[in-house]
Chain A
Amino acid sequence: AQTVTQSQPEMSVQEAETVTLSCTYDTSENNYYLFWYKQPPSRQMILVIRQEAYKQQNATENRFSVNFQKAAKSFSLKISDSQLGDTAMYFCAFSNYQLIWGAGTKLIIKP
Chain B
Amino acid sequence: DAGVTQSPTHLIKTRGQQVTLRCSPKSGHDTVSWYQQALGQGPQFIFQYYEEEERQRGNFPDRFSGHQFPNYSSELNVNALLLGDSALYLCASSFGAGTQETQYFGPGTRLLVL
Tally the A-B contacts, defined by beta carbons under 8 Å.
53
**Contact of B42 with A97 in the complex, beta carbons under 8 Å:** no
> Given the interface contacts A91-B42, A104-B42, does A97 sit within 8 Å of B107 by beta carbon?
no
Instruction: Tell me if B's interface is mostly helix, strand, loop or mixed.
Output: loop
Shortest B83–chain A CB gap in Å is 21
Q: Give the number of residues in A that approach B within 8 Å (Cβ atoms).
A: 24
Question: Which of under 10, 10 to 19, 20 to 34, or 35 or more describes the interface residues of B?
Answer: 20 to 34
Shortest B86–chain A CB gap in Å is 15
> Given the interface contacts A43-B107, A43-B108, does A101 sit within 8 Å of B102 by beta carbon?
no
In whole angstroms, what is the CA distance A4 to B58 when docked? 15
Write out, one digit per residue, whether chain A residues 85-105 have a CB within 8 A of any chain B CB (1) or not (0).
000000101011111111110
Q: Which residues of A contact B107 (CB under 8 A)?
A: 42-44
